[in-house]
Structure 1
Amino acid sequence: MPANDYIFELSENVTRTPVSFETRYGLGLSADLYRPADFDESKQYPALIVGAPYGGVKEQGPGIYANELAQKGYVVLTFDPAYNGASEGYPHHLSSPDQMVEDFMAGVDFLGTRPFVSREKIGAIGICGSGGFALSAAKVDPRIKAVATVSMYDISRMQKNGMNDSMSDEDRLATLKTLAEQRWADFETGEPALTGRGAPLEWDAEANPVGAEFGSFYSRPRGYHPRSITQFTMTSTPSWMNFALLQDLDWLAGRPILLVAGDEAHSLYFSEDVYKDAPEPKELYLVEGSNHVDLYDKVEKIPFAKIESFFADALK
């Protein structure tokens, strides 16, 4: 693994600076600011916020995207979500839909107060779960002028209905009863129980193809990071069941949306459904021969030219 636990090598054409900023809840987020090597602080640049996959950290996929897009003249902010990675928040590994949406808006607060960023040219990129968070943030924050999602997941829908909307009402009620009991246990011990690892260290690819796919990234040298354990507090789940990230997409009318997904991704239906529901202008862009996690880190598959041209037009 490259130095400092980043899973990629920083381009000589990019500078990376550790920064931090606070959410409106007073939680400090650990972040990195990427700029072109020929950066001129007297100028104003278009800026992008890149959110990590659900369970990921800034040293993984977000940094790869920032490293590429900073070379194209963007100021790019990556961050660890509150309660996760190197960011503040206790208990750690808590997962809150409101907070994860707030993280994006706090990122806009930070970028828009940099003198070298044009406030009218701020966009967002959300990878995996952050795709839903970025869209949800943009619905209520018109400062986000355009959104690109990559391998998007709607975590609120998945937690409520299961993958492919397969959870029955009976299973949902049983889950909620179990988690209600867990709250008492967490309160008594002071140590919230965690979910199982979403990216298992060992797997049966036939029995658990999705787990195998995530494990091939998070649990192998390819994408491993010690702060990305792909686990959350068990009692985070009811909050997601009670929170619809992607209702009222019509509020985005007039702001461009690009939905990038692999044509072999198990998660493709999330992007397809958003494409059906979202207002214009919008585009669904399929990457041939790619699964969900391919677009986390495989630079040869990630359509950076498409993403760059999208933001060049949306933020002009």
Structure 2
Amino acid sequence: MKKTFIITMMLVLTGQAFAKDKKSKSKKMETSEHYTFQLNENVIREKVTFKNRYGIMLSGDLYLPKNGRNGQLSALAICGPFGAVKEQSSGLYANQMAARGFVALAFDPSYTGESSGEPRNLASPEINTEDFSAAIDYLGLQKNVDRNKIGIIGICGFGGFALNATAIDKRVKAVATTSLYDMTRVMSKGYNDAVTPEQRTKTLEALSMQRWTDAENGKPAEGSRNLPETLKGDEPQFVKEYFDYYRTPRGFHANSLNSTGAWLVTNPISFMNMPILTYVKEISPRPMLLIAGENAHSRYFSEDIFKLANEPKELIIIPNAVHVDLYDKVDVIPFDKLDTFFRTHLK
């Protein structure tokens, strides 16, 4: 029973459940003005676009402090969670940090939300890492940004991509993550690394055969919805917590895969053999801040990276918090700590 639960949740997380949800559509999302938070009265939000190294046009929201438009300010590139869009958590973080005096860019990753890229509803550890570097490109060209004072915040699965981008892109001066997920680890090994070699082999066999099906059909198949329309009540607690954010007015957004959509069935392929945090030690001597909830099912990701990373590094465990509390609860997310961290190290 335990093994069945582990592999089932792995399939739900990665979009490998092979029964297609007919309501899900693989298409570029429409522009939306719906945000899951209120814009701070001291912040200006501007829609922007920029290309990554693969020629994919990324859509972002640039948050600017009203009293700092003409100075050279520190800047932050912000993305996540995995399967979310900029009108959700990343925008909330950008809004909060801009109110504290930073230029903050929240963006939709490639193939997701208002960003371009075909097919839709696809993720890639390489391309999503590149998305952060493309955001750094954009920020460094802004007249009101000091390009020597740029940092990254990665939320959930984009915490892993944020660390990977920082390791390889030496322009990033400091990095922080909240509710970190290493998507390559969880897709290839399952939660708490509990997937057996036999289970992994079966998953890879199924994904390999799916490629022929996709080739025959001329298009990639969609998996089942990331989250159901309703809960039955017997779901694991962390699934209920995801539902409480993505499927309720608290965090629902029509462009978000976790609210309304599904990953492609073959989405996990590029994650299975690519551990993105192999070179996490190379972030040093630049500082790293890892923030996780005490009761978060994902807490072990942050703790394990903290053990692996070189100094300077800091791990903060938020008492009583669960994974999704760090998505949007402004009284739980330690924004003052993030402010101090980046103000100290982006200089």
| TM-score, structure 2 as length reference | 0.88
Q: Which of these residues, 33, 48, 55, is aligned with residue 26 of structure 1?
A: 55
| 1:38-187 correspondence to structure 2 within 5 Å | 38-41=67-70, 43-187=71-215
Give the match for residue 271 of structure 1: 302
Contact 1:200 1:212 in 2 (8 A): no
The partner residue of 2:238 within 210, 214, 230 is: 210
Say which structure, 1 or 2, has more relative contact order (CA 8 Å, 6+ apart).
Answer: 2
Aligned alpha-carbon RMSD (Å): 1.2
Counterpart amino acid of 2:282?
W
CA deviation string 1:27-50 (max 9, x = no partner):
000101000011232x20000011
CA contact (8 A) 2:109 2:115 kept: yes
Return closer, same or farther for 1:285/1:205 CA change in 2, 3 Å cut-off.
Answer: farther
* CA positional deviation for 1:201: 2.5
Structure 1 partner of 2:14: none
1:13 maps to a residue whose letter is N
Q: Conserved in 2, the CA contact under 8 Å of 1:193 and 1:233?
A: yes
Cα distance between partner residues in 2 of 1:289 and 1:200: 26
Q: How does 1:4-15 map to 2 (within 5 A)?
A: 4-15=33-44
Which 4+ residue blocks in structure 1 deviate beyond 3 angstroms? Answer: 204-207
- Aligned-partner Cα distance in 1 for 2:179–2:69: 33
DSSP 3-state at the match of 2:93:
helix
State the Cα distance separating 1:205 from its structure 2 match: 4.7
- Which amino acid letter does the alignment assign opposite residue 303 of structure 1? P
1:248-278 CA-to-partner distances (Å, cap 9, x unmatched) read 2111111000000110100000000000000
Asked whether the equivalents of residues 183 and 235 of structure 1 are also in contact (C-alpha less than 8 Å), the reply is yes
Cα distance in 2, alignment partners of residues 275 and 152 from structure 1: 11
- Report SS of the residue matched to 1:247: coil
Any conservation in 2 of the 1:259–1:285 contact (CA below 8 Å)?
A: yes
- Is contact 2:164-2:279 (8 Å) kept? no
Question: Structure 1: 5+ residue runs without aligned partners?
Answer: none
Aligned identity (percent) is: 47
Q: Could you say what secondary structure the match of 2:67 adopts?
A: coil
Q: Find the aligned partners of 1:166 and 1:286 in 2 and give their Cα distance.
A: 24
2:250 maps to a residue whose letter is R
Say if 2:269 is the partner of 1:241. Answer: no
Contact 1:199 / 1:212 at 8 angstroms: preserved in 2?
Answer: no
